[in-house]
Structure 1
Amino acid sequence: MLPSHRVADALVTVTADRAPVAGQDVLVRQTDHEFLFGCTGFERDIPLADQWFGLFNFATLPFYWGQFEGEAGSPQTEKLMEMARFFKDRGCVVKGHPLAWHTLAPDWLLERNNGEIAAAQVERVTREVGDFAGVIDMWDVINEVVIMPIFDKEENGITRLCRDIGRIPMIRLVFDAARHTNPAATLLLNDFDMSAAYECLIEGVLEAGVRIDALGLQSHMHQGYWGEEHTLSVLDRFSRYGLPIHFTETTIVSGHLMPPEIVDLNDYQIDDWPTTPEGEERQADEIARHYRTLVGHPAVRGITYWGLQDGAWLGAPGGFVRADGSAKPSYHALQNLIRGEWWLPETTMRTDDEGRLPLRGFRGTYTIEALGRTGMVTLGNGSTLGGSAIECELVP
């Protein structure tokens, strides 16, 4: 059953050469969701494209500064642009992740003073947001700021700068640069810390007048599924700011669970972490429950799964696809939701004497075909459960 806030209906007038197509059978086919069902696109070079596009319409690409610009002045713009266009040309929304983060910061920042680091960070944000505008118009602007000034795993210039100027000025620095460069971009604040510390940070940023377009919440569940009750409690806490919520990094494993005493997921990397048949059944059940919970909450606009294939992140069996490329039960469970339960089946409808037909379905895009022509309509902005009148012009 579709959550009512994900459904819209409209009275569509089908036209050809601006004349109503009256009393005709037309084929209606859903082609995409308004909701962002996402995954990392880091693995684009592996032969899993059909499986990736069988689920997702939203790709997150890696802009880790230390990898993107390992040598100052030599960014990997062309390589990332090729990746971004690969997804954009196939109808996907593309997001860059992240523009500012203490982890994987370039080593060459350590040679600079804090003022120079701030200038380099602004230059980096301005360059990437500007270069990719029109291809990537969504960014995780800054990542994991709650821990940023106290991060002690390794010395890095971003932690040093954040410790010096503070979390909120750091956020303002990069958000202002991104906003100025591409005012139309969707800019996210992203964190793994679901404690009150993140809430306090959000409140401080909003009170300081920094405009955030969406909140990113990470949900790596290597130590066990959160469960519906906990997930809903997190959503209730963070939805009170009135901002759209993206679950930006989600994983559920299909092997043994990470020991509960591990604090940092990055500290648990073992030689062999296999998927198991019983773990795969558990993962499939939990994936379906997790996605139902998130899609069922009106504040959530998107979910990004952190790796299609097992081993993609921290060697964990967290993917929807095994290491050998075969689909796991979780893949089919999610596909049954996205392309089944939450997808309008291809159907033939007949227009009335004025060329009209009622269309109701999951918010997204639909094609209408008749007379050897095709048109497209969108159920979403402007079309609601109350109904709205829209036109679909068929073209050869």
Structure 2
Amino acid sequence: MIENSKKNIILLILIAGSIVGLGFSIKSQYLRDESSLKAAFEGKFHIGAAMSSRHINNQNQPSIDVLKSHFNSIVAENNMKSGLIQPREGEFNFETADKFIEFGEANDMHIIGHTLIWHSQAPRWFFTDSNGDDVSAEVLTQRMKDHIHTLVGRYKGKVKGWDVVNEAILDDGSWRKSKFYEILGEDFVKLAFQFAHEADPEAALYYNDYSMANEGKRAGVVKMVKNLQDQGIRVDGIGMQGHLGLEHPEIEEFEKSILAYAELGVTVMITELDISVLPSPRRNMGAEISTNVDYQQSLNPYTEGLPENVQNQFDERYLSFFKLFLDHHDKISRVTFWGINDGDSWKNGWPVRGRTDYPLLFNRDNTPKSVVRDIIELAARY
């Protein structure tokens, strides 16, 4: 009798343990499936991140694990820009770009190419002859064609969309007087889109720029894209670089731009997203990469971590913008962060070198910030 009771107790313990274990297994599976950003935004828009050369060369496995778990789209932060791809005329270096593409294909990522034509990080030879003088319009046109056909053609069918032209319009809506503009005028944008379409007719083609919530830039970009469309040039999307601060830009102005760009009949993408918590050297600063400001301790106040009130501001700011993106998810095809964790971010060194910033959703140790769960819960309500 006693022996049977013992057996019954043991059996009950085993059954209870199995039920608990099953519940834990189900709960763990639920968390794995439902607690990722990419799962939260499935059916709404792609959620992406920029990969640095360290990521591409697999030098930071914990970050790669975060990338695989939370994101379904990738863009190369620097390694497809012209200065790195073709440092000397006719000498292409595809080693790192090839690895980037291979990673994307192996992990079923939506791959974005960045960027074909940009005034910054372009090699000097692109614009000069053997004497150091500016080349003719014909020579620059041919160099653009050769570069775009070679790069886009190499990854035809693999890259889903290209940032064809980057940052051609200034904040006041006027044209940036880059070497491309000085030699070819406004036609350099038209030519770039033509050449990219020739190289891969199936790839989506985008214009990408910063400060896209500014009224002046909004008007300038709309005018430029309308002009291209009137000439029969296909533009599939506009990338709004999301280099944000805690106070600027105003969400209302950002929304006006989403609506204005969508009215052109193109998709809108939020690209290069990060929110800096650090003081800006001046109000409403854009993202002109050549800008540098001397280091001041007052501009680097959070070297030991964020105060609670600043962390709360950061969380609320991200939630407000993601609510905006979700409200307009029918117009937005992709939201891409400029990095994976805080340690990756270019904001630690721009516009002031040596600062400690916290602009992304994952901490330097790759743990998610609490706002990640809040964003996921927000998405579930749409």
Q: TM-score range by the shorter chain?
A: 0.7 to 0.9
Among 297, 309, 322, the residue aligned to 2:341? 309
**Partners of 1:258 and 1:333 in 2: how far apart?**
30
Q: Aligned-residue CA RMSD in angstroms? A: 2.9
- Aligned counterparts, 1:123-272, within 5 A: 123-147=146-170, 151=176, 159-167=178-186, 169-194=187-212, 195=217, 196-222=219-245, 224-257=247-280, 259-260=282-283, 262=285, 266=289, 267-268=291-292, 272=300
Q: Counterpart of 1:321 in structure 2: which amino acid?
A: F
> Judging changes above 3 Å, is the alpha-carbon distance between structure 1 residues 307 and 318 closer, same or farther for their aligned structure 2 residues?
same
> Judging changes above 3 Å, is the alpha-carbon distance between structure 1 residues 55 and 235 closer, same or farther for their aligned structure 2 residues?
same
**Partners of 1:227 and 1:234 in 2: how far apart?**
11
TM-score (structure 1 length as normaliser): 0.70
Is the Cα contact below 8 Å between 1:309 and 1:320 reproduced in 2? yes
TM-score (structure 2 length as normaliser): 0.72
**Partners of 1:237 and 1:170 in 2: how far apart?**
24
Percent of residue pairs identical: 19
When the two structures are aligned, how many residues end up with a matched partner? 308
Match of 1:69 in 2: 86
> Judging changes above 3 Å, is the alpha-carbon distance between structure 1 residues 121 and 140 closer, same or farther for their aligned structure 2 residues?
same
**Partners of 2:98 and 2:226 in 1: how far apart?**
35
Is the Cα contact below 8 Å between 1:213 and 1:244 reproduced in 2? yes
> Judging changes above 3 Å, is the alpha-carbon distance between structure 1 residues 262 and 139 closer, same or farther for their aligned structure 2 residues?
closer
Among 265, 288, 306, the residue aligned to 1:276? 306
Structure 1 runs not aligned, ≥5 long: 1-26, 153-158, 343-361, 363-396
**Partners of 1:303 and 1:165 in 2: how far apart?**
32
Match of 1:287 in 2: 318
Among 309, 314, 318, the residue aligned to 2:359? 318
Structure 2 runs not aligned, ≥5 long: 1-28, 130-134, 349-356
Secondary structure of 1:221's counterpart equals strand
Please state which structure has a larger fraction of its residues in strand.
Answer: 1
Show CA shifts across 1:100-141 (max 9, x none). Answer: 110111122243313222211111110111111232131001
> Judging changes above 3 Å, is the alpha-carbon distance between structure 1 residues 150 and 206 closer, same or farther for their aligned structure 2 residues?
closer
Shift of 1:283: 1.7
**Partners of 1:151 and 1:228 in 2: how far apart?**
26
- Aligned counterparts, 1:21-170, within 5 A: 33-34=42-43, 35-42=45-52, 44=55, 45=58, 46-47=60-61, 48-61=63-76, 62=78, 63-112=80-129, 113-114=135-136, 115-147=138-170, 151=176, 159-167=178-186, 169-170=187-188
Please state which structure has a larger fraction of its residues in helix.
Answer: 2
**Partners of 2:251 and 2:334 in 1: how far apart?**
17
Secondary structure of 1:76's counterpart equals coil
Shift of 1:242: 1.6
Higher relative contact order (CA 8 A, sep 6+): 1
Larger radius of gyration: 2
- Aligned counterparts, 1:343-354, within 5 A: none
Structure 1, 67-76 or 240-249: larger mean CA deviation = 67-76
**Partners of 1:273 and 1:265 in 2: how far apart?**
23
Structure 1, 306-315 or 289-298: larger mean CA deviation = 306-315
Secondary structure of 2:232's counterpart equals coil
Shift of 1:252: 1.0
